[in-house]
Amino acid sequence: KQEVTQIPAALSVPEGENLVLNCSFTDSAIYNLQWFRQDPGKGLTSLLLIQSSQREQTSGRLNASLDKSSGRSTLYIAASQPGDSATYLCAVIEAGTALIFGKGTTLSVSS
Amino acid sequence: SQTIHQWPATLVQPVGSPLSLECTVEGTSNPNLYWYRQAAGRGLQLLFYSVGIGQISSEVPQNLSASRPQDRQFILSSKKLLLSDSGFYLCAGGLIGNTIYFGEGSWLTVV
């Protein structure tokens, strides 16, 4: 059974710092991996989708990498801002199933 | 791109009353559709997913049910709510191999 783990569970950084969020999964036979952001009391906003044949995706200050063989993905946030404060969720999808989520990393960026 | 509409946004229901949460999708046809629940301080739990009209897979045995009467409509129901049904319900949808989008969520409090 696929399990997704995110480390750390919480992270506090000063504004301007570069940071890395980690995601690991137990079964490398995934279809895609997707990173989401969730603000308190809100739905999920998709940040980046990495398909199984890809190794990374970039959007603005965000860069996500995928290493299927080792069961790992990282989300790199450059020059963090207070507006980046949120919970970041990693999810994998296997063929014929739905998204399987980690429990998230709650990020707090102080000004 | 796709948009997921979900309603109602908030509801307070007495124990034993029925429930109907509705989700519709704009911007794509034949999406996979999902219902997730997020309890306070916990991760996202997959409840149901659907790959087509009338095709529903249940992930967790409980007093909830789902239906897909039209291609872009997904309904979560209950005949009699329990206190443990309280939580944040999220509808999601997308094409296999592509980004999965989420609605803004529905807050359910059972009293």
- Min Cα separation A68/chain B (Å): 16
How far is B109 from B85, CA to CA, in rounded Å?
Answer: 8
Tokens, residue B78 = 């209950």
Q: Are strands B32-38 and B55-58 parallel, antiparallel or unpaired?
A: unpaired
**Cα–chain center distance at A62:** 10
Task: Say yes or no for a CB contact (<8 Å) between B90 and A43.
Answer: yes
- Min Cα separation A50/chain B (Å): 9
Three-class DSSP category at A83: helix
Nearest CA in chain B to A98: B49
| Sheet of B73-78, strands arranged across | B3-7, B19-26, B73-78, B64-70
Nearest CA in chain B to A97: B49
* pLDDT confidence of residue A21: 97
* pLDDT confidence of residue B15: 97
Query: Which of A104, A19, A33, A20 has its CA nearest to residue A71?
Result: A33
Residues in chain B closer than 8 A to A51 (CB atoms): 97
Nearest CA in chain A to B34: A98
Q: Which residues face B52 on adjacent strands?
A: B55
How far is B26 from B7, CA to CA, in rounded Å?
Answer: 14
pLDDT 10s digits, B10-63:
999 999 999 999 999 999 999 999 999 998 777 899 999 999 999 999 888 689
* pLDDT confidence of residue B61: 64
What length does chain B have? 111
pLDDT 10s digits, A54-111:
999 999 999 999 999 999 999 999 999 999 999 999 999 987 778 999 999 999 999 9
Residues in chain A closer than 8 A to B88 (CB atoms): 41
How far is B13 from B75, CA to CA, in rounded Å?
Answer: 17
* pLDDT confidence of residue A84: 98
- Considering only CA atoms, give the Rg of chain A: 13
Place of tokens 């790199």: A76
Task: Say yes or no for a CB contact (<8 Å) between B102 and A46.
Answer: yes
